[in-house]
Amino acid sequence: MNLIVDIGNTRTKFAVFHDGALQELKFADQGAEPKVLDELLENYPQLDKAILSATGHIPDPLYNKLNQSLALIPLSHHLLLPFQNKYATPETLGLDRIALMAAAVKHCPGQNVLVIDTGTCVTFDILEADGSYHGGAIAPGLRMRYEAMHQFTAKLPLLEPKALETYQGSSTADAMHAGAFRGLVHELNGAIDETKARFDDLTVILTGGDAQILRDHLKNGIFANSNFLLEGLDFLLELNALHE
């Protein structure tokens, strides 16, 4: 049984997998990670291995507890990958993007796949049908757009994202929603159209924290999977545990 630990920009996800299926998902704020880990170890005594992915600092208490309790594999670009990594600077490729491409291989082998991850930043990554990965794009995420308008102007408020159906906002708040939300929707649809023009039979996967609010505003044929990254991490853990 596998434990997936994904340390993000604001919180940590803990996911328990068994035979490729998600059993439980828990979240921990900064400082609460060891407590959540202890609860999972107690509730799932069958846990025997773990993979750790982090976008930033790894708390020492969490790392030490994981390393002492389970066979731990830290995610890095040095791991055995299920795709051909042809990124020009593989050492700078985000670990989340590696996990997303692994999930694309698992779910869509032999297909051209565009994975859009709508997190703090929006990432666009393309897995080609021959199993090669050359890169993609990184753009400001939905909330980052709202925060930028607030921080870099004198009077614009900080708003929570809101889905809007038109570019014509009749108030300052709606104008901001129109620019941030509708602007991102058009950006995503444009990326989908451009990628479809390059690749036949393209599969598009939408994931990340803002996938739900964006999903119904994108073109038809999008597959939304909020746990896509976690499934990729579980796949990488199984792959590398077999080759240790």
How far apart are the C-alpha atoms of 121 and 130, rounded to whole Å? Answer: 27
Residue-by-residue DSSP string for the chain: -EEEEEE-SS-EEEEEEETTEEEEEEEE-TT-HHHHHHHHHHH-TT--EEEEEESSPPPHHHHHHHHHHSEEEE--TTS--SSEE--SSGGGS-HHHHHHHHHHHHHSTTSEEEEEEESSEEEEEEE-TTSEEEEEEEEE-HHHHHHHHHHTSSSPPP------S-S--SSHHHHHHIIIIIHHHHHHHHHHHHHHHHSTTEEEEEESTTHHHHHTTSPTTEEE-TTHHHHHHHHHHHHHHHT-
Catalytic residue among 6, 19, 96, 117: 96
Residue 96 is among the residues annotated as catalytic for this protein: yes
How many other β-carbons are positioned within 10 Å of the β-carbon of residue 54? 18
Residue 172 near residue 156, CB atoms below 8 Å: yes
Q: Which residue type is seen at 220?
A: N
How far apart are the C-alpha atoms of 187 and 139, rounded to whole Å? Answer: 10
Residues noted as catalytic = 96
